[in-house]
Amino acid sequence: MSALRDGSLLTGRELRHWARQPATPIFGTLFQIMLLLMFAFLFGGAIDLPGGGDYTSFLLPGMLALTMLFGLEGTMTAIGADTKKGITDRFRSMPISSAGVVLGRAGADLAVSVLNLVVLLIGGLLIGWRVTGGPGGALLAVLLLLWLRFAFLWVGIFLGLTFRSEGASMAVQILVWPLGFLSNAFVSPETMPGWIAAVSNVNPISATATAVRELFGNPTGATGGFFADNALALAVAWPLLLTLVFLPLSARAYRRLRS
Amino acid sequence: MTSPALEARALRKRFGTTAALDGFDLTVARGSVHGLLGPNGAGKSTAVRCLTTLARYDEGSAFVDGLDVALEGAAVRRRIGLVGQSAAVDEVLGGRENLVLFGRLSGLPKAAARSRADELLERFDLVDAATRAVSTYSGGMRRRLDIAASLLLRPAVLFLDEPTTGLDPRARNEVWRAVRDVVALGTTVLLTTQYLDEADQLADRISMLRAGRVIAEGTPEELKRRLGRDLLRVVVTEVGDLPRASAVLASIAGAEPVVDEAERSASVAVGSPTDALLKAARGLENVPLDDLGIRRPTLDEVFLTLTDTTTEVAA
Ligand SMILES: Nc1ncnc2c1ncn2[C@@H]1O[C@H](COP(=O)(O)OP(=O)(O)OP(=O)(O)O)[C@@H](O)[C@H]1O
Ligand SMILES: [Mg+2]
């Protein structure tokens, strides 16, 4: 499959970027660690979980899900930069399939996400987070996280191809924060005021975070309700829905470059 | 293979209400360099993008190496190289890494991509900078790398969209040399430019583009002859002879000459230069002269005449 070959070549390109500019992955990683420590130690003592349990064990899966959301910025920035610099046009004038170009982006970004996950998991282990579920569940948890990242990939590609100004990427960088906070990543929705709790519950990040907590055997901060009971199904369905919407939109935006 | 390397017939392309191409015609013979000359917004990039399958044209037909651009896009992409208006290379990677990556993406096996990359680095004088990040390259080096990247698959037709815009004169000379090298290998080149001397220097034929339409086509010499008016110019030795010389020129051209006392010169536009020169030589037999001659208009003058939107010129 030539598309797979192109995809792996373009993933290799991203890894070479890391080798040449290690500051980018290093600072990205430090930033994650900083967030993790800040929330664990600064706010950890002040937050009571409904249903009980240790806050650090609750926090880590939330941070993992949040990191998948933040990856969207990276996708969008990379796609936008290639398009602006004419590299996308070079690809389009070469005998490469557009599927290959997209697979390359997907491979590169999933590689970044795997690195992010590994760093956070190690960081979590160091501050006391533990997996109490089985290894099968843990593996499934990681797959669910990457599945969420895969969905955000299409959102990022769509946004990167559609909104190409500096302002637009800035707006996305800012908007991911409220989107991330209006979830159960840091705080259980059961302790939130009514409408904020409602928004946080339907947030796709919450579904994945809850499912991952269950699979790792960590506290979920939920004592019941539709979203807690169906977390696993929602963690599969939400990314599927996002992909079904944004994959065609990305494909259309790519074709539109030809208009 | 007798088809031209490039052919466009009555291409039309609109963006909303703007007609970026408005009946664009072009024929480029194999192995030649064709210059597409026009001011900002004339439609040069749009023409290149349509011919390289990056953009779809609304009407008309286009052929690259005998292949229909609208129907055989994938085959066209295997025969062309494109150097776009901005240098499309990965800034973080080194020059060699760029060439190997693009070569492998074009379908070359690893070893072939590497040896082709080395060959091109050599040809474009980039060996010393091969492993350095492209972000440290000068504008001229970046352009040369860009051109090298578009030659990986030995394209039949190379498209260069304003390859020297924004470069200093030295870098521009480097790029010109690179283009001449490409041509020497038998590649057909379509080059867009806003610079007349560039078209004059590099192109075998030139199409002048205005508002999406070719308004004049020919060799640089033909265009100068056809569109510019030749100037008959005389420089007298004694400034006192200037009125007399001026009167002779006026009687030949049937128009008042432009007189420059400081230069001791008089000049006037003439229709048939050889004839006018002979008449002037006879009429000024007894006047001591420093110079008498015909001056060809520069391509600049032709360009300004043509692109002045108030002038209508038949192509
Ligand atoms: N994607 C686009 N959307 C809308 N209008 C466009 C688009 N691309 C080009 N145009 C318009 O089409 C016309 C031709 O543009 P084009 O870029 O082909 O000119 P050009 O000769 O390459 O100019 P320049 O010397 O500035 O590069 C211009 O009026 C331009 O504004
Ligand atoms: Mg242009």
CB of B305 closer than 6 angstroms to any ligand 1 atom: no
Q: What is the end-to-end Cα distance of chain A in Å, rounded?
A: 28
Which residue does chain B place closest to A100, by CA atoms?
Answer: B105
CB of B38 closer than 6 angstroms to any ligand 1 atom: yes
Q: How confident is the model at residue B188 (pLDDT cuts 50, 70, 90)?
A: very high
**Angstrom distance (rounded) from CA B146 to CA B151:** 9
Picking from A8, A17, A93, A256 by the largest number of B CB atoms within 10 A of its own CB, the best residue to mutate is A93
B208 and B246 housed in the same domain: no
CB B277 within 8 A of CB B213: no
- How far CA B125 is from CA of B153, B176, B186, in Å, comes to 19, 13, 20
B52 and B111 housed in the same domain: yes
Q: Does residue B305 lie within any of the structural domains?
A: no
pLDDT digits (tens, 9 = 90+) for B82-91: 998 887 999 9
Task: Write the CATH number for B101.
Answer: 3.40.50.300
Q: Does residue B108 lie within any of the structural domains?
A: yes
Q: B128 burial class (0-12, 13-18, 19+ CB within 10 angstroms)?
A: exposed
Average pLDDT (B260-277) is 87
pLDDT of residue A167: 83
Ligand nearest to the CA of B193: 1
Number of residues assigned to chain B: 315
Ligand 1 center from residue B211 Cα (angstroms): 10
pLDDT digits (tens, 9 = 90+) for A195-238: 999 999 999 999 999 999 999 999 998 888 889 889 999 999 99
pLDDT of residue B311: 45
| DSSP bridge partners of B94 | B133
Nearest Cα neighbor of B188 from B25, B3, B46 is B3
Q: Does residue B310 lie within any of the structural domains?
A: no
Using the predicted structure, report yes or no on whether residue B300 has a pLDDT greater than 70.
no
B119 and B237 housed in the same domain: no
Residue with tokens 């004088």, as numbered in its chain: B125
Nearest Cβ partner for B88 among A20, A89, A96: A89
Interchain pair B92, A259: CB under 8 A: no
- How far CA A153 is from CA of A73, A78, A241, B164, B259, in Å, comes to 9, 11, 13, 37, 72
Q: Which protein residue's CA is at the shortest distance from atom 26 of ligand 1? A: B40
Would you give the DSSP letter of residue A218?
-
B155 and B269 housed in the same domain: no
pLDDT of residue B1: 54
B64 and B42 housed in the same domain: yes
Interchain pair B93, A89: CB under 8 A: no
The full DSSP string for B64-123 is: ETTEETTT-HHHHHTTEEEE-SS--S-SSSBHHHHHHHHHHHTT--HHHHHHHHHHHHHH
Q: Does residue B175 lie within any of the structural domains?
A: yes
Ligand 1 center from residue A202 Cα (angstroms): 45
CB B13 within 8 A of CB B50: yes
B208 and B235 housed in the same domain: no
Beta strands in chain A (DSSP E): none
B141 and B255 housed in the same domain: no
Nearest Cβ partner for B54 among A2, A21, A89: A89
Average pLDDT (B61-88) is 93
Using the predicted structure, report yes or no on whether residue A151 has a pLDDT greater than 60.
yes
Q: What is the residue-averaged pLDDT of chain B?
A: 90
Residue with tokens 């282990």, as numbered in its chain: A125
Task: Report the share of chain A in percent with pLDDT over 70.
Answer: 100
| Residue B250 CB neighbours (<10 A) | 14
CB A92 within 8 A of CB B54: yes
Using the predicted structure, report yes or no on whether residue B10 has a pLDDT greater than 90.
yes
| Residue B310 CB neighbours (<10 A) | 4
The token duo for B123 is 């040809």
Q: Does residue B311 lie within any of the structural domains?
A: no
B235 and B188 housed in the same domain: no
Q: How far A3 CA sits from the closest chain B CA (Å)?
A: 10
| Residue A38 CB neighbours (<10 A) | 11
- How far CA A145 is from CA of A40, A122, A142, B242, in Å, comes to 21, 16, 5, 90
Q: A84 burial class (0-12, 13-18, 19+ CB within 10 angstroms)?
A: middle
Dihedral sign of CA atoms B134, B137, B143, B148 in order: negative
Q: Which of B17, B21, B37, B40 to mutate to test the pocket of ligand 1 (most atoms within 8 A of CB)?
A: B40
Task: Report the share of chain B in percent with pLDDT over 90.
Answer: 65
Q: Does residue B315 lie within any of the structural domains?
A: no
B189 and B66 housed in the same domain: yes
Nearest Cα neighbor of B206 from B186, B297, B178, B215 is B215
B75 and B180 housed in the same domain: yes
Instruction: State how many domains chain A has.
Output: 1
Picking from A87, A102, A255, A257 by the largest number of B CB atoms within 10 A of its own CB, the best residue to mutate is A87
Q: Which of B17, B37, B46 to mutate to test the pocket of ligand 1 (most atoms within 8 A of CB)?
A: B46
Please give the single-letter amino acid code of residue B106.
S
Nearest Cα neighbor of A71 from A188, A13, A157, A165 is A157
Run of H or E residues at B293: strand B289-295
**What range does the domain containing A249 cover?**
2-255
- For strands B33-37 and B188-193, give the pairing: parallel
Task: Name every residue in A having a CB less than 8 A away from some CB of B.
Answer: 2, 6, 9-10, 12-13, 16-17, 20-21, 85-87, 89-96, 100, 257-259
Instruction: State how many domains chain B has.
Output: 2
Ligand 1 center from residue B97 Cα (angstroms): 32
B55 and B197 housed in the same domain: yes
Q: How far A145 CA sits from the closest chain B CA (Å)?
A: 30
pLDDT digits (tens, 9 = 90+) for A166-192: 788 888 888 898 999 999 999 999 888
Nearest Cβ partner for B92 among A2, A20, A94: A20
pLDDT digits (tens, 9 = 90+) for B124-169: 999 999 999 999 999 889 999 999 999 999 999 999 999 998 888 8
Run of H or E residues at B304: helix B299-307
Residues at Cβ < 5 Å from ligand 2 ion = B 44-45
Q: Which protein residue's CA is at the shortest distance from atom 3 of ligand 1? A: B15
B47 touching A (Cβ < 8 Å): no
Q: Does residue B309 lie within any of the structural domains?
A: no
Task: Report the share of chain B in percent with pLDDT over 70.
Answer: 93
**Angstrom distance (rounded) from CA B229 to CA B215:** 17
Interchain pair A258, B102: CB under 8 A: no
pLDDT of residue A204: 96
Ligand nearest to the CA of B55: 1
Beta-carbon contacts of B196 under 8 Å, excluding residues fewer than 6 positions away, are B37, B298, B299, B300, B302, B303
B48 and B143 housed in the same domain: yes
pTM (predicted TM-score): 0.82
- Residue, of B270 and B13, whose pLDDT is higher: B13
What ipTM describes this predicted complex?
0.84
**Angstrom distance (rounded) from CA B66 to CA B6:** 8
Using the predicted structure, report yes or no on whether residue B199 has a pLDDT greater than 80.
yes
Q: Angle A204-216/A55-84 helices, nearest 10 degrees?
A: 130
pLDDT of residue B241: 92
Please work out, in degrees rounded to the nearest 5, the angle formed at the alpha carbon of residue A230 by the alpha carbons of A55 and A211.
Answer: 40
Using the predicted structure, report yes or no on whether residue B310 has a pLDDT greater than 70.
no
CB pairs under 8 A between A and B: 69
Q: Does residue B88 lie within any of the structural domains?
A: yes
pLDDT digits (tens, 9 = 90+) for A118-147: 999 999 999 999 999 889 999 999 999 999
**Angstrom distance (rounded) from CA A163 to CA A62:** 29
**What range does the domain containing B286 cover?**
229-296
pLDDT of residue A254: 87
Interchain pair A86, B101: CB under 8 A: no
Average pLDDT (A70-85) is 90
Q: How confident is the model at residue B306 (pLDDT cuts 50, 70, 90)?
A: low
Task: Write the CATH number for B258.
Answer: 3.30.70
Nearest Cα neighbor of B202 from B160, B157, B141 is B160
B74 neighbourhood in chain A, CB within 8 Å: 95
